[in-house]
Structure 1
Amino acid sequence: MSNSPLVVYTKLSPNHSGQRTHSIDRITPHCVVGQLSAESICGCFINTSRQASCNYGIGTDGRISMSVEEKNRSWCSSSRENDQRAVTIECASDKTAPYAFNNAVYASLVNLCVDICQRNGKSKLLWLGDKNKTLAYAPKSDEMVLTVHRWFANKSCPGDWLYNRLGNLAAEVTKRLTGGSTDTGKVDVPSDGKTLYRVQTGAFSKRSNADAWAAKLKVAGFDTYIVQMDNLYKVQVGAYSQKSNAENMMAKLKAAGYDAFITTKSGTAAGTAKKSAAEIAKEIYNGTCSDARWSSWGNGADRVNRLKQAGYDPSEVQSEVNKLF
């Protein structure tokens, strides 16, 4: 397996077991307990008396170094079995608990994990949060799993600072691998003053990825739709006038294993082909709605806002409605 193109410094350690006997399906990040440079981390493992090494090191400025080639098993996590299948990463950290990383180190850790996954054919990074569950888990061909040193030795590594963020690390890496993007959501109040709460499950730069994600959720029983906003295709579920209803839907999605959050940003509908004003007028007349965001087109200002968000001219549609009545 080729080494990461992100590496800026290499000083190979003699402390390793040669070529792996297991394919790579784990990543084990460590805290080095000191704000060391990338070069210094490599220097820690040059002496054979140290009997320790790592595949990569991330210095306090975010620069990445290599100590053991990725194809070889490092001596890092106090577990021969784990090291045979894990890419190990020593990260500069504070010297005292909770052994926090600075922003540059954490950002490089995310980038390096993405790179490792991509080069090893993985599209997901998982954090199962439990030693026994993780060690018993057989990753699928497209999955990479996070493990930690403290599971194999009486150590606090990687420190509580990172340990408590491993779920976030896995989620961020997976989003990048699938073409997604994080989105905190901002309040967007329609002209009638009523806020609609939507549950968002993903945001993608590629429409095909959004379509695939929406299809997967629909198979699981969730009625999704796609909106385009900020150069992203966002997969959302529902549009609720009461936040509690959105919270209930978010809870259902999370219980089913999907990431979700509530947003009031809507965007432009990017779903099915646009219908004629006459067709939409018939839906209004019959009290139905072809847009999955709403059960009906509504009345008054609600109807105007919904038609605009779906890309229709409210005046043109109303003219057709008047003909029906």
Structure 2
Amino acid sequence: MTNSPLVNLRIYSPNHSGRRNQPITKIAIHHTAGAVSAETIGNIFKPRTRRASCNYGIGNDNKIVLCVDEKNRSWCTSSSWCDNRAVTIEVANSKNGGNWPISDRVLTTLIDLVTDICKRNGIKNCTYTGGKDGVLQKHEWYSNTNCPGPYLGSKFSYIASEVNKRLRGNKSVSKSKGELYRVRKSWSDVKSQKGAFKNLDNAKRCADRFGLKVFDENGKIIYPIGKTIDQLAREVIRGGWGNGEERKRRLTQAGYDYYAVQKRVNQIIQ
């Protein structure tokens, strides 16, 4: 069992259980809940008193740190069942708070790393099912936590799709083809377009400013996913998404920004 050749630095953590007792069939993607470098991720898990670790970390400097060899079970997902089967990855955010975003280049590096893990461990289909039966795993399924955060959590289907393209021999990630994200009222309403952006975060900000949507080059709505924040907020008020943790879970699993929706709910009912 080998480690990824994509690693830029090694800062080993003593916090692991030694040899895992299951073959690698899962990949658990976490977020650091902070905009930190790869070196900082390594140093966070270095003290024994931390009692936590990960196999890999990707910093907001776009470097990959190895903290625990893949052959060993890290202490990352609050689950012996998951951590024995999963290579665990901590991903740094591009800024703190909000929907805890990560940068586009870090997302691309994450896809590179997940693809490499799949190839070396014989995972021929990187699945995301929204449940524990898939390859990609979320910390929030095993513990009362918001990890991997709303933004990264909404990207799991995309990550699986892009990894599988590479596993099938197509090595290019969609965004590397120079894809433009178009901000319009509808795909057919070309005149309503406010801009075309290479950076998805910029496209989202434009869409939020003008109350529009972001479309990919095939006319698929990228943001908001399916419905606007206002539509979702009114559905929440009508009881359509449940309450408390159930509401957070359902909105997040559907790919929506729970915090943005809840903020709009609060504004409407005030």
The TM-score, its normalising length taken from structure 2, stands at: 0.62
Contact 1:150 1:156 in 2 (8 A): yes
Alignment correspondent of 1:100: 101
Q: CA deviation at 1:103?
A: 1.6
Unaligned runs of 5+ residues in structure 2 are 181-217, 220-270
Residue 30 of structure 2 aligns to a residue in which SS? strand
Contact 1:61 1:104 in 2 (8 A): no
Written as runs of structure 1 = structure 2, the 5 A alignment for 1:96-245 is: 96-130=97-131, 134=132, 137=133, 145-180=135-170, 182=174
Contact 1:18 1:73 in 2 (8 A): yes
Q: CA deviation at 1:63?
A: 0.6
C-alpha distance after superposition, 1:5-50 (max 9, x if no partner): 0001001100000001000010011110111111110000111111
C-alpha distance after superposition, 1:273-300 (max 9, x if no partner): xxxxxxxxxxxxxxxxxxxxxxxxxxxx
The runs of 4+ residues in structure 1 deviating greater than 3 Å are: 181-186
Q: CA deviation at 1:165?
A: 1.1
More strand by share: 1
Letter in 2 for 1:88: T
Give me the CA root mean square deviation. 2.1
Aligned residues: 178
Letter in 1 for 2:21: T
Residue 112 of structure 2 aligns to a residue in which SS? helix
Unaligned runs of 5+ residues in structure 1 are 138-143, 187-260, 263-325
- In our comparison, the structure showing a higher alpha carbon Rg is 1
Q: CA deviation at 1:125?
A: 0.6
How many Å separate the matches in 2 of 1:42 and 1:166?
A: 24
How many Å separate the matches in 2 of 1:120 and 1:67?
A: 18
Written as runs of structure 1 = structure 2, the 5 A alignment for 1:215-294 is: none
Residue 106 of structure 2 aligns to a residue in which SS? helix
How many Å separate the matches in 2 of 1:185 and 1:111?
A: 18
> Using CA pairs below 8 Å that are at least 6 residues apart, which structure has the higher relative contact order?
2
Q: CA deviation at 1:163?
A: 0.8
Q: CA deviation at 1:184?
A: 9.7
Residue 57 of structure 1 aligns to a residue in which SS? strand
Residue 146 of structure 2 aligns to a residue in which SS? coil
C-alpha distance after superposition, 1:159-200 (max 9, x if no partner): 0101111000000000011013548999xxxxxxxxxxxxxx
Alignment correspondent of 2:47: 47
Residue 162 of structure 1 aligns to a residue in which SS? helix
Alignment correspondent of 2:7: 7
The TM-score, its normalising length taken from structure 1, stands at: 0.52
Percent sequence identity over aligned pairs: 44
